[in-house]
Amino acid sequence: MTRLMRNERDGKPKYSVFDNRKNQPVTEDGVGERNEHFVIMLKDQYSRAALLAYAGAASEAGDTEYAKDIMELANRAGSLHPACKKPD
């Protein structure tokens, strides 16, 4: 299982994926690496649009159950989130 951890502001990515089983950060998360990632916080004002597009792509690919899960996230994101704010 993995979880998201906030990094210190030292010029590195703001968030990192942490492997709970190994109790260490996932190190292959840089540009072009196998575990490269981009985090979208539901409270960010742009997150709803991103999630709606992602759900649409999943639906077009025929993965309707996954698309439904993403739509549920989208329905709690962006301007619909109680703590909506511009990302920092």
pTM for this entry: 0.72
Asked whether residue 2 carries a pLDDT value surpassing 70, the answer given is no
- Find the mean pLDDT for residues 35-54: 90
pLDDT score at 20: 79
List of residues 6+ apart from 59 with CB closer than 8 A: 67
**Annotated domain spans of the chain:** 1-39, 40-88
pLDDT band at residue 88 using 50, 70 and 90 as cut-offs: confident
pLDDT (tens digit per residue) in 3-44: 666 665 555 556 667 777 887 777 666 778 777 777 788 999
Cα 38 to chain centroid distance, Å, stands at 6
Asked whether residue 68 carries a pLDDT value surpassing 90, the answer given is yes
